Amino acid sequence: MKKNTQQCNQIVENEKHYYSQAGKLPYFPLAIKSGQGAIIKDQDDNSYIDFLSSAAMLNTGISHPKIVEVITEQAKDFVHYIFPYIYHEPSVQLAKKLTEITPGNFDKKVIFGLSGSDANDGMIKFARAYTGKSKIISYIGSYHGSTFGAISLSAISLNMKRKIGPLLPDIHHINYPNCYRCRFNNTCDTCSLECLNELEDAFKYYLPTDEVAAIVIEPIAGDVGMVVPPKKYMEKLYSLCKENNILFVVDEIQQGFGRTGKWFGIDHFDIEPDIMVLGKSIASGLPMSALVGRKEIMESLGAPAHTFTGAGNPMACKASLATIEIIKDEDLISKANTHGDYIREEFKKMQEKYNIIGDVRGLGLSIGVELITDTKEKNSVAASKICYRAWEKGVLLTFISQNVLRIQPPLIISKEEIDSALEMIEESIVEFLNGEIPDEVLETSKGW
């Protein structure tokens, strides 16, 4: 499988020289030159179908013309001016719009940031300030970002915790409900939500609920492996929160803005969260995050408790307003559903042919394809090799949780592009099974 990657390789080598690798999770040497919609071009003019959407940051695709237009127009007026000191209209329009499209039939307020990570830090501040309690519950395997609060919430890699402590105190982690790997060997029929016993026991024996400010959950656990929790789990978790005056917080950074086939992942569970943490696709690629919370929670802190010079950037606000319009005008929520159903069906057909596919799951265009060994162990070698081979063929495909293919194409992707990508992925699976992908690719394709 020979392709010209000379310039890309050079850029990778140069980067290793100048850039700290603490910020890199390499899969393959792809140095992007340009992109449009669901197609990426690299520096050597190879093309790829995008099955990643910049880690769910580009639900509207790469450089959507409307996004380019509003950013360009705004830049002509002013690129930025310190938002904590002055006012501008796009930010007010966006704050209003976010309170309208998020679930919750109550008064809400919004605050902006620059990354999902800082939004999670802000969420911890508001949750603690409002409740007067300090403990926060999060999930094992989760990724919530790289600032100190977000790292403390995360539990995905020891590399995030080593050498930098002490981290934030009073953050507790429990297991995410994972029906494919049920720790109680239940099926849907026999399940009595034994997975919640862990939390209930914690509340009974060592985690006083009057000290717990919030539970933070992803409505689909992205980095846990695109795991969809049972609806009854979410309902019971929500009830436990309400019974104990604990805030129910959702991190929608990865699953929000139409990706799951509803505006937000939590909409699948008919739950109105107290705080929503938004980021990634909120501004179609511009750095922006937001917290949307009950008004009284968002009024529990005084300035400058959560203030950033670059927050509320008008280009990002305009891009976010345009993102919301694009999702509506181009019917992207229905597309996420139809495309998502189709992709899941196609992977299920492959599952019948290849034992290596243990599970196909997800909602809308957040899909996980779990690769396993004969004994249902995580098949991380298969995931690395298949993603690498798919890249060689022309699909940008990655894996999470060591062995789960991450299928998150932009919502604007066409059926033809999906079909080509699926064909290349299936060929890669077959070539893996035939032993045609060399071990040396494991040196490069490391991922998380």
Ligand X SMILES: Cc1ncc(COP(=O)(O)O)c(C=O)c1O
User: In this chain, which of 44, 50, 218, 392 binds ligand X, going by CB under 6 A?
Assistant: 218
387 binds ligand X (CB under 6 A): no
Tell me the HSE value of 338 on the side-chain side, using a 13 A CA sphere.
Answer: 9
415 token code pair? 């059926």
Nearer Cβ to ligand X (115/260): 115
Of residues 227-256, those binding ligand X (CB under 6 A): 251, 253-254
x/- track of binding to ligand X for residues 389-428 (CB under 6 A): ----------------------------------------
| Nearest-approach distance from CB 269 to ligand X, in angstroms | 16
User: In this chain, which of 12, 55, 179, 207 binds ligand X, going by CB under 6 A?
Assistant: 55
143 binds ligand X (CB under 6 A): yes
Q: In this chain, which residue has its C-beta nearest to ligand X?
A: 116
Nearer Cβ to ligand X (233/432): 233
* Binding span for ligand X by CB under 6 A among 26-34, 35-43, 116-124, 359-367: 116-124
| Nearest-approach distance from CB 113 to ligand X, in angstroms | 9
Do 370 and 403 meet the contact criterion of CB atoms below 8 Å apart? yes
Backbone angles phi, psi at 400, to 5 degrees: -130, 165
User: In this chain, which of 273, 279, 285, 312 binds ligand X, going by CB under 6 A?
Assistant: 279
User: In this chain, which of 64, 135, 144, 294 binds ligand X, going by CB under 6 A?
Assistant: 144
Angular region, 289: left φ>0, alpha ψ -120 to 50, beta rest: beta
Nearer Cβ to ligand X (403/428): 403
Do 27 and 386 meet the contact criterion of CB atoms below 8 Å apart? no
Nearer Cβ to ligand X (117/401): 117
Nearer Cβ to ligand X (220/382): 220
| Nearest-approach distance from CB 112 to ligand X, in angstroms | 13
145 binds ligand X (CB under 6 A): yes
Cis geometry, peptide bond prior to residue 304 (ω within 30 degrees of 0): yes
Nearer Cβ to ligand X (135/144): 144
| Nearest-approach distance from CB 157 to ligand X, in angstroms | 12
Nearer Cβ to ligand X (251/417): 251
115 binds ligand X (CB under 6 A): yes
Nearer Cβ to ligand X (277/422): 277
User: In this chain, which of 90, 103, 116, 362 binds ligand X, going by CB under 6 A?
Assistant: 116
260 binds ligand X (CB under 6 A): no
160 binds ligand X (CB under 6 A): no
261 binds ligand X (CB under 6 A): no
Helix axis angle, 332-353 to 314-329, nearest 10° = 70
Nearer Cβ to ligand X (167/433): 167
Nearer Cβ to ligand X (116/273): 116
* Binding span for ligand X by CB under 6 A among 10-18, 139-147, 389-397, 432-440: 139-147
113 binds ligand X (CB under 6 A): no
| Nearest-approach distance from CB 431 to ligand X, in angstroms | 30
Site for ligand X (CB under 6 A): how many residues? 15
Rounded Cα gap, residues 125 and 120, in angstroms: 9
User: In this chain, which of 117, 138, 152, 401 binds ligand X, going by CB under 6 A?
Assistant: 117
Q: Provide the sign of the torsion angle of the four alpha carbons 371, 374, 377, 380, taken in this order.
A: negative
Nearer Cβ to ligand X (366/445): 366
The residues binding ligand X (CB under 6 A) are 55, 115-117, 120, 143-145, 218, 222, 251, 253-254, 279-280
